[in-house]
Structure 1
Amino acid sequence: MNSAVADLMRCNLLAVFNEPDPERRNAAIVLTYAQDVVWHEPDRVIRGREALAQRATELRAQTPDWVFRPDGPVSVNDDLGHLGFQVGPAGQPPVATGMDIARCKDGVIVELYTFVGGSSQPS
């Protein structure tokens, strides 16, 4: 397995989207993504590190007490990484699940796809 890709996938989830401190999050963004990264969310496409940082800040503000947790190990195939995740209030069962798939090049993520599933709680 390409450990650099696996490390980037974990950083994407934990050091960026799980990081409440804006300065630490922005430092991680510089190390994790290409300057011209393209992030495909279910309802929009974000282009560039600055826009990704802004969107990450928006998401953190919407649910400040929520945390992301890996849902299984990172899978790597050449320059592609995949990591499932769970998200919800800290210390409680997850509210939703999803996955990130990223294409990496030269030690950074150049393209990211995020898929969010439905609620993982019983109805």
Structure 2
Amino acid sequence: MSSNDLTLPGAPEADFNHLLRANLERVFNERDPARRAAAVADLYVVDPVMYEPTAIVTGRAAICEVAGRLLDQFGLTFAFHADGVAVGHHGLGTLRWHAGPGEEVAVTGTDAAQIVDRRISRLWVLLDPSVR
């Protein structure tokens, strides 16, 4: 554990809202691969891990690839939108979100992130069950 680890008692808290909203906007809504990679470098630790419902994604390049593939798969109007303000403490933050084409909501969920040294170290993508 580094001396700057945000889980240490008395360490200043990260700006959970800024980090998790920037992750949605600058990574998962960014269609330009170079800009997405720059955002991941800013927001994530060197060796991050993302836990999706069906996969474990390791490394910055792999996270960029997953985000790009999602955007390509669902079309030009597909986007993620934050619902409310991210909350967190002691190195753990959460942000509710919804996504879909245009104004349509196709999926909802929550991102839960472990924050280390003011960057995302681990990200869990939690999808809500479909309501039909």
TM, length-normalised to structure 2 = 0.83
Q: Alignment RMSD, CA only?
A: 1.7
* Alignment partners' CA distance in 1, 2:117 and 2:52: 23
* Alignment partners' CA distance in 2, 1:11 and 1:117: 21
Residue 119 of structure 1 deviates from its aligned partner by 4.0
User: What stretches of structure 1 of length at least 5 have no aligned partner?
Assistant: none
From 20, 30, 47, the equivalent of 1:19 is: 30
Residue 12 of structure 1 deviates from its aligned partner by 1.1
Runs of 4 or more, structure 1, over 2 Å off, are 1-6
Q: In the alignment, is residue 33 of structure 1 matched against residue 48 of structure 2?
A: no
From 83, 99, 110, the equivalent of 2:121 is: 110
Residue 38 of structure 1 deviates from its aligned partner by 0.6
Q: Which residue of 2 aligns with 1:53?
A: 64
User: What stretches of structure 2 of length at least 5 have no aligned partner?
Assistant: 1-11
Q: Which residue of 2 aligns with 1:8?
A: 19
* Alignment partners' CA distance in 2, 1:35 and 1:58: 21
* Alignment partners' CA distance in 2, 1:37 and 1:3: 17
Q: Deviations over 1:73-98 (max 9, x none)?
A: 111122111000000112x2311101
Q: In the alignment, is residue 74 of structure 1 matched against residue 86 of structure 2?
A: yes
**Identical-residue share of aligned pairs (%):** 34
* Alignment partners' CA distance in 2, 1:86 and 1:6: 16
Contact 2:14–2:91 under 8 Å retained in 1: no
Aligned length: 120
TM, length-normalised to structure 1 = 0.89
From 63, 83, 97, the equivalent of 1:85 is: 97
From 106, 112, 118, the equivalent of 1:95 is: 106
- SS of the residue corresponding to residue 128 of structure 2 reads strand
- SS of the residue corresponding to residue 17 of structure 2 reads helix
Q: Deviations over 1:31-85 (max 9, x none)?
A: 0111110100000000111111111111111113211111121111221110000
* Alignment partners' CA distance in 1, 2:18 and 2:70: 22
Whichever residue aligns with residue 91 of structure 2, its letter is D
